[in-house]
Structure 1
C-alpha cells in the first residue's frame, strides 16, 4: 500500500472511527479463498447519492477508457481466471486496462485501512461498515440498469441509492458423496427428516460417518443457527422478533428446533466420533474420499470438495429436510458486494467492469455461487439438481441494528451457543442462560 504523508497515529484513529456492524444474515464466515469459507454476509439496508455518472455504455464501449484497479481476496485467480476475464472484457471495452491488487491478509481489515487512509482502489468489495457510511466512500450504481434484476438490492443501499451488488449468492443444503450413498443402499435423496435419519443410519451401518459437522471450528455451524431458524419459522426476518421478547431462545421456536436437530444427529452418532477434534481442511478430503458422506453447508463448498480429490459427478446437493412436511426450503445469502470508489478517476470504466462481471464473466459458476441476477439458471449440475427439487429459496434480510447492539452487549455468539446446547446435559439451561443475558442487555440499552 502506498504511504500517505501523515502520522501512523492519525491512521489508527481513522480506522477506529470506521464503525462496524454485527452479523446480519448470519453466515459469519470471513473472506473467501479457494480453500476457505465464504464472506461474511452481514449488512444493513440503505443508499445515498454520492454523485451521478453516465451509464457506462452510454457513449459506446469504445468511448470508455482508463486504468482501474480491483482489490480482491481471490488471490488464487490472479494470473489465471482473472486474466481470462480481462481478455474477454477487453473484447467489449478495448480501452479499459484492469489491474488486480491481492489482499494477502484479512480482507475486511485491509479494506478498512484503505478507507481510513483515503486511498481506495477503483473496484473493491464492501467491508463491514454501516450502510449510512456507504456514500462517504462509494459511487451509486443505480445507473447500471440492474436494480430490477439483482438479488439483495437493499443490502448495500442507503436512502434509496444502490452502492453494492452481490458477487454471487449461496444457499445451504446437504452436499454429499454419491458413491457413499450408493454403497449404503440409498437410492433416493431424503425428502423428510425421518427419511434423512434413516439414510444416516444406513451410512453409519456401512462404517461411513454420515455428516461432517466440523463442530470444533465453530463457524461451520453457522447454517444451523442463522439459516435454519429462519427456514423453520418461514420468516426471513425472524431474528428481529427477538426485540419483542425477553426470552428469544425457546425449545419450540426456530432457534430451539434448529439446535435440537443438530443435537439429535450427535446423540444418534451421526456426526464425527470426536466432535471436539475436527479438522476443516481434512474434512473436505474425507468427503471427497467417501469417509464422510455429507456436509450441511453452503453450495460454495461443492467445488472445494471436488478439488479435494473427487469427480464432479460424484458430488450432489439437496435441501436439508428439517421436518416431515416434504416441502423443501432453504435460505439464500449474499457473498461479498462489488463497489466502485466515488473518488475513482475512472468511475465509468470501473462501473463498466462491475456490470460485466455481474452479467458476462461467469464468476458465479467458477466460485460455486448462484447468480446475483434473479432467475438466472446455474450452469453447475449440483445447483440445477437442487433447484429442480422445487425448493423455495428464502432471500435473507439483515438484522435490525438494535438486535445487533443487544447481541453484542450480551456477547451472544450463536454458533458457540450451538456448541453448548449440543453437549449440555440440560440444553434448556443453556437457553435460559442466554435468555437472561439477552434480557439484561435489552433492558440496559433501553430497547
Structure 2
C-alpha cells in the first residue's frame, strides 16, 4: 500500500476521534453448483445489461448457487442469514450457502486444492502468488466505489486474484474496569510498566492476558507483527532470504517470542496454557475475569458481542520495550478469492462485490475498510490512534521466502509454542534454523 493510503488511514482515525462514535493472513494473517452463470457485462437485443455484477440501475439476471467456505462459524445462522436476505433483494435468483471451517482453515483449503474440490468463494491460504492463477479467477473486472487497499498482496503477472476482507492493526484489547479495580490508572507505555500492570491484575485475582496458547493461531500477532515492529523494518520477514539462520535471540524473532515467554514464566497467561478455549476467552475478557488480549482490532466487536459494554473495552499499542517507541502494524486480513472453475463464476463475483461494497462486514468484524477513504465506526481505533502510534504498513511476502518456509515446514506460531515451553529456547531456534538452511540450499537460494 502506498503512502497516500496510510495518510488516508490516519485521517480516518482523526475523523473517528472527532465523531467519537468491525482466523490470518498477516502481511509482512464442495458442494456441486447448479444454475446459469449469466454473461457479465454483455448487452442483450433489448439493450439491457444481462449480468452486471454491481452497477446501479441495471437489470440483474444472474442465477445459481454460490458456496462460501468461511472461518466465521459464529456468523452462520446469524449475521450471514441477514446478509443473504439483503443480497437477495438485489439478486433474487442467486442462492448462497455457507460452509463452516471446523479445522485449520489454511490446511483445509490446501487439502481441497489438492483434491480439486474448492468452494466458489474462499480465503487464500499461504501459497506463492505464482500459484494463484492455478486455482483462482482474476478479479480485475470488479468495480468498486473507491480503490481497494493492498491490491499488490495477492496479484500475479499484473492480475488481481485476492481482495482483502478488511484491514487491521494489533494491540492490547483490555477491560477498563479490570484495570481500574486493580489500581491501574493509565495504560502502560513501556514494557516494565506493562509487566507492573500485569502483576497488579494477577494480585487482584484477574488473569492478566488471554493468549489462547493451545489454539496456536492467536499467537500470530507475536510472530508475524512484533518481529518487524521491534526491528522497525516492514520488510524484516522478507530479509530472511539473505539469512542462513533467521531465528536469533537478539533479533526480532527472539525478542518477540521472549516477550511471550516472560509473560508465561511470570504467570500472567492462563493458568493452564495447554487447555485454552477461544470462545470462552471472549466471555472472560468481557466479564473481566481476564483483562487483556494481544490481537487485532477485529476481536473488539466479538468481545462486545458476548456481553461487554463498548465503553468498557479499550485498545492501546503493546509497549514492547522500555525505549518509549510506539509502533504498531497495519495489515490486511484474509483475502477473498473466487474458484476459477466455479460453475457460477459471475454469481460468485456478484456476491463478493456485494460483500465489499454493501454488507457492512468490516464494521461488524471490527476491521478498517478494504476500500480507501471509508470511515471506521469503531471508537476504540480512535483511542488507539490518540496514543500517537506510528502505523507500519505490511508488505507482500517474498515468494522465495514462502517457498523456503513451506519446504522447511516453518510454522511461526508453532515455533513460538515450542519456544515458550522449552527448557532451552535456543535449541528450538537451532532446530528451525537448521531446517531453514537445509531448505534454502536445496532450493538453490
* TM-score normalised per structure 2: 0.78
Bigger mean CA offset, 154-163 vs 267-276: 267-276
Bigger mean CA offset, 216-225 vs 336-345: 336-345
Match of 1:14 in 2: none
Match of 2:18 in 1: none
Match of 1:217 in 2: 215
Q: Determine helix, strand or coil for the equivalent of 2:141.
A: helix
Return 5+ residue gaps in structure 2 as ranges. 1-22, 30-38, 42-51
CA distance in 1, matches of 2:192, 2:295: 20
CA distance in 2, matches of 1:314, 1:179: 7
CA distance in 2, matches of 1:321, 1:174: 9
The answer to whether the 8 Å contact 1:285/1:309 transfers is yes
The answer to whether the 8 Å contact 2:28/2:234 transfers is no
- The 5 A counterparts of 1:178-327 are 178-327=176-325
Match of 1:66 in 2: 63
Match of 1:416 in 2: 414
Q: CA deviation at 1:254?
A: 0.7
The structure-2 alpha-carbon separation of the partners of 1:445 and 1:335, relative to structure 1 and needing over 3 Å to count, comes to same
The structure-2 alpha-carbon separation of the partners of 1:178 and 1:62, relative to structure 1 and needing over 3 Å to count, comes to same
Q: Deviations over 1:43-74 (max 9, x none)?
A: 99xxxxxxx96473568432553335142324
Match of 1:82 in 2: 80
CA distance in 1, matches of 2:301, 2:55: 37
Q: CA deviation at 1:154?
A: 1.8
Q: How many residues align?
A: 402
CA distance in 1, matches of 2:92, 2:431: 61
Match of 2:169 in 1: 171
Q: CA deviation at 1:255?
A: 0.9
Q: Determine helix, strand or coil for the equivalent of 1:331.
A: strand
Q: Deviations over 1:130-181 (max 9, x none)?
A: 4334334433222334597222212221101112211123322111111100
CA distance in 2, matches of 1:116, 1:422: 34
Bigger mean CA offset, 230-239 vs 272-281: 272-281
CA distance in 2, matches of 1:308, 1:86: 23
Return 5+ residue gaps in structure 1 as ranges. 1-37, 45-51
Which residue among 374, 377, 380 is the counterpart of 1:379? 377
The structure-2 alpha-carbon separation of the partners of 1:441 and 1:157, relative to structure 1 and needing over 3 Å to count, comes to closer
CA distance in 1, matches of 2:234, 2:280: 33
CA distance in 2, matches of 1:424, 1:112: 30
The answer to whether the 8 Å contact 1:43/1:131 transfers is no
Q: Deviations over 1:349-402 (max 9, x none)?
A: 443332222122111122232221234332122233223334333333343333
The structure-2 alpha-carbon separation of the partners of 1:422 and 1:96, relative to structure 1 and needing over 3 Å to count, comes to same
Q: Determine helix, strand or coil for the equivalent of 2:321.
A: coil
Match of 1:56 in 2: 53
- Select the structure with the greater relative contact order (CA < 8 A; seq sep ≥ 6): 2
2:96 matches 1:99: yes
Q: Determine helix, strand or coil for the equivalent of 1:394.
A: strand
CA distance in 2, matches of 1:145, 1:179: 45
CA distance in 1, matches of 2:415, 2:338: 38
Match of 2:7 in 1: none
CA distance in 2, matches of 1:65, 1:271: 51
Q: CA deviation at 1:317?
A: 1.6
CA distance in 2, matches of 1:42, 1:123: 21
Bigger mean CA offset, 162-171 vs 80-89: 80-89
Aligned alpha-carbon RMSD (Å):
3.3
The answer to whether the 8 Å contact 2:54/2:353 transfers is no
Match of 2:387 in 1: 389
The answer to whether the 8 Å contact 1:171/1:330 transfers is yes
Q: Determine helix, strand or coil for the equivalent of 1:377.
A: coil
The structure-2 alpha-carbon separation of the partners of 1:234 and 1:149, relative to structure 1 and needing over 3 Å to count, comes to farther
CA distance in 1, matches of 2:109, 2:260: 36
